[in-house]
Chains A and B, each alone.
Chain A
Amino acid sequence: MTAIAENKPAYDGKVLDLTGKSGARAFKNTLATVLIVLAFAVAMIPLVWILFTVVSKGYHLLLSADWWSQSQRGITVRRAGGGAYHAIMGTLIMALITAVIAVPIAILGAIYLVEYGKGTRAAKVVSFMIDILTGVPSIVAALFVYAVWITVFGFNRVGFAVSLSLVLLMLPVVLRSTEEMLKLVPDELREASYALGVPKWKTILKVVVPTAFGGIITGVMLGLARVMGETAPLLILVGYSKNINLNPFSGFQGALPTMINQDRTELALPNAADRVWAAALTLILLVLALNLLARLIARFSAIKSK
């Protein structure tokens, strides 16, 4: 996705190309080139098509201020008008709660793996468990929270329950990326800090984490992007509301994926169809904005060793 480096070809092979290749080798080379360009072309068709579909069908609703500031209250599928404010806020609130719960656990867990538990059996167990968590499909995470939150505790379906299931999905993503970022922090920094008599915890908080800060933020944003588009937990754990509900602990709450889900059954109706694509585009833009923000933060807080 977006955090990946700009991959400019690092090297222009032609400079060193030797002449006098045998026919078979030249043919293979050409064939490979053709196949690779072909693969690229084949891949681009559906990808451009999807993006084009979403953008071309969705953009015009996004141009109106109502889209960003109004709910869908009173707007039936046949009617035009209203906005996605309720769903945008729902998505952001749920994502925020998810982040508030998942990020500290993930960062501290990563600190444990890198700074405290390295090489120990316990750390291996933790690492293994994270791998398991990585493999949990969203629907299973949702089922689990449903079983705990509703079947056992008897609570109502609310946005917070969705956040709980999203935590399960976000935790391993952030933990792994943080772990990798912490590993990148040069040991010289730690050693220098220790040599000055700084206790370990302070070294971690004041030296290690700030050094890896950009990368950690990137990981958090990517984790958020991953969970914001999830539909399955929303379907199972919260009712969809067309009205503005900013309280994640009570009542139905709208979110962009469920807004899409609600109107997708009426795609034959132009107004509903417009909203589906516009909501999809909004979600993509939100994720994109998060990624850009992450990249910006990462760029300006990059580890500078010289």
Chain B
Amino acid sequence: MSSPDGTAPPDRPDGTAAEEAEPKIEDLVHEDAGPTPQFGGLAAEHADHDAAQQPAEVMTESGVEAAGTTTATETGGKLELGPVGHLGDRLFGGLARGSGGLVVLIVAFVGIFLLALAIPALIDDKSNFLFSRIWEPGGDQPRFGIAALFYTTVISSIIAMLIAVPIAIGVALFVTYYAPKRLAAPVAHAVDLLAAVPSIIYGLWGILFFAPILRPVINGLSTALGWIPLFEKPPGDNVGVVFTASVVLAIMILPVVTAISREIFAQTPITHREGALALGATRWEMIRLSVLPYGRSGVVSASMLGLGRALGETVAVLIILSVPNGNDPWNSSIFAGGETFASKIANNAAEFDSPEKTGAYIAAGLVLFVVTFLVNSAARIIVDRSTPGTKRPRRNRRAGAAEGASA
């Protein structure tokens, strides 16, 4: 825990302990023994535990559940008690183990199956799968490569992140530390509600209502920065471009990233905040010194979660993005059209009429799968590295609410 004051008491929520689940024995022991986990042997032990548990907290799929998951606790040292060998135990334990095994089987099956379908198509592929931009699967001379799909997928998601993450952090900070109490809760709920809007609606709204007002932005940016190929606008008045899709993606992932960041910021131990303020820090300095360092790993995870969503988004992108024709030279500009993995697959689902074609699309799907997985893994590694020995206070969200009420 990066305690700015260095002498912070163990980071248990203060004054609210009575409201929440009792901390486990080991937790108390650890916490009491290691006040500043940045150094000392205990820190390493913390890091080990956290490596196994913390990323999982926020790496869950929709941000929502992270609400419940920002409460991971250290339970590694729990005693294995309880009678063993009982018939019921063997049955129930077997069931539980079976379910664990089933999950492994399912994932392995998905992976192997997709690979098995993709490999024959990949063997027949007459062009370089990774570096070709042509997509002509099927026929006698199937030629397909993912370079263009990969580029559009990645660039649109990155732009979406660049837009969404700073704003999401701003909104999360606003809700947790700036907004009047009366405003904060409704705003939080409104943002949450947006995560429930189906993506197809984001797509429709994006192209029908939002894209027209983006046109001046696109024109302005391309006029100012058009000498950079990335911002060079092809002739025409088309707004179904990568930039539009990126902005809509940003809006789509905003609620997710905001929700998780907000949850994490709110859990900054009050002692840290008080410590900073007691030293004469301004509100911003308090945030910079205590809230942001504390929430960094969570924000990274939330962002990666959002990125994963942006990478895999299908229908909204399909509706918004225009597709370049096969004759024009490839255009890397964000003001040109493009196709992402997901939109390509969905748009051509009607074409899966031969195993070779299907295989080609499944191969593209596999790449998307791998990219998404790499992003998730990267998030885990970043979180592990950037926060050595950090351990969040044990607290569940009900306790968080209780704390808010008691303050």
Is there a direct interface between A and B, measured as CB atoms under 8 Å apart in the complex?
Answer: yes
- Closest B residue to A304 by CB, please name it: B21
Chain A residue numbers with a CB within 8 Å of B53 are 183
Interface size on B, residues (CB 8 A): 150
The reply to whether the CB of A134 lies closer than 8 angstroms to some CB of chain B is yes
A31 to B259, CA, bound (A): 24
Q: Tell me how many residues of A have a C-beta within 8 Å of chain B.
A: 140
Are B83 and A137 in contact, with the CB atoms below 8 A? no
A232 to B178 Cα, complex, angstroms: 39
Does B100 contact A109, Cβ atoms closer than 8 Å? yes
| Contact residues in B for A104 (Cβ distance below 8 Å) | 99
Interface locus among B35-43, B59-67, B122-130, B330-338 = B59-67
Asked whether B78 lies within 8 Å of A53 as measured between CB atoms, the reply is no
Q: Does A89 contact B (CB under 8 A)?
A: no
- With A36-B174, A108-B99, A138-B314 known, 18 other A-B pairs at CB within 8 A are A1-B62, A1-B64, A6-B404, A8-B405, A9-B176, A16-B277, A17-B283, A37-B174, A50-B194, A50-B197, A105-B102, A109-B102, A132-B111, A134-B376, A137-B342, A137-B369, A139-B341, A173-B65
Query: Given known contacts A177-B65, A194-B82, is B75 in contact with A183 (CB within 8 Å)?
Result: yes
Please provide the chain A residues from 156 to 178 with a CB less than 8 Å away from any CB of chain B in the complex: 168-169, 171-173, 175-177
Interface residues of B in 204-257 (CB under 8 A from A): 204-205, 208-210, 251, 254-255
CA distance A276 to B371 in the complex (A): 33
Q: Roughly how many angstroms separate A49 CA and B213 CA in the complex, as a whole number?
A: 13
Choose one: B73, B76, B103; the contact of A184 (CB below 8 Å): B73
Closest-CB distance, B12 to chain A (whole angstroms): 14
Nearest CB in chain A: distance from B403 CB, A: 5
**B263:A194 contact, CB within 8 angstroms:** no
Q: By the criterion CB–CB under 8 Å, are B251 and A47 in contact?
A: yes
Partner of B311, one of A122, A137, A303, A305: A137
| A99 on the B face (CB < 8 A) | no
Quick one: which of A32, A133, A219 contacts B68, CB cutoff 8 A? A219
**Taking CB as reference atom, which chain B residue is nearest A136?**
B369
B312 within 8 A of A: yes
Closest residue of A by beta carbon distance from B13: A10
Q: Using a Cβ cutoff of 8 Å, how many contacts connect chains A and B?
A: 442
Name B's interface SS. Answer: helix
Q: When chains A and B are docked, how far (Å) is the Cα of A132 from the Cα of B356?
A: 26
Point out residues on A near B: beta carbons under 8 Å: 1-13, 16-18, 21, 25-26, 28-29, 31-33, 35-40, 42-44, 46-51, 53-54, 104-109, 111-119, 122-127, 129-141, 143-144, 146-148, 151, 168-169, 171-173, 175-177, 179-181, 183-188, 190-191, 193-194, 197-205, 215, 218-219, 222-223, 225-226, 229, 231-232, 235-236, 256-257, 260-261, 264, 267, 276, 280, 283-284, 287-288, 291, 302-303, 305-306
- Whether B262 and A264, one on each chain, are in contact in the complex, defined by CB atoms closer than 8 angstroms, is no
B82→A200 contact, CB < 8 A: yes
Chain B residue nearest to A187 in the complex (CB): B24
Q: B89 contacts the other chain (Cβ, under 8 Å)?
A: yes
CA distance A179 to B314 in the complex (A): 29
B65, B76, B368, B375: which contacts A3 (Cβ < 8 A)? B65
Give me 27 A-to-B residue pairs in the complex whose CB atoms sit less than 8 angstroms apart, sorted by A's number: A1-B192, A2-B192, A2-B196, A4-B262, A6-B188, A7-B262, A8-B405, A13-B177, A13-B286, A16-B277, A17-B277, A36-B173, A43-B191, A105-B102, A108-B99, A129-B103, A130-B56, A137-B342, A139-B314, A143-B345, A171-B106, A172-B61, A176-B59, A187-B75, A200-B84, A232-B314, A235-B349
The interface residues of chain A, by DSSP majority, are classed as helix
Q: Taking each of B20, B63, B174, B403, which has the highest tally of chain A beta carbons within 10 Å of its own beta carbon?
A: B174
A102 to chain B, nearest CB (A): 11
CB of B181 within 8 Å of the partner chain: yes
- Whether B349 lies near A236 (C-beta < 8 A) is yes
Give the residues in chain A near B57, CB-CB below 8 Å: 180
- In Å, the complex CA distance between A40 and B179 comes to 10
**Taking the nearest CB of chain B, how far is it from the CB of A222, in angstroms?**
4
Least distance between B156 CB and chain A CB atoms (Å) = 14
Q: Which 4 A-B pairs have the closest CB atoms?
A: A39-B170, A137-B312, A201-B92, A8-B404
In the bound complex, what is the Cα–Cα distance between A177 and B375 (angstroms)?
A: 21
In the complex, the answer to whether B263 meets A219 with C-beta atoms within 8 Å is: no
Let me know if B131 is at the binding interface, CB within 8 A. no
What string of 1s and 0s marks CB contacts (under 8 Å) between B18-53 and chain A?
101111111000000000000000000000000011
Report yes or no: B346 in contact with A148, Cβ–Cβ below 8 A. no
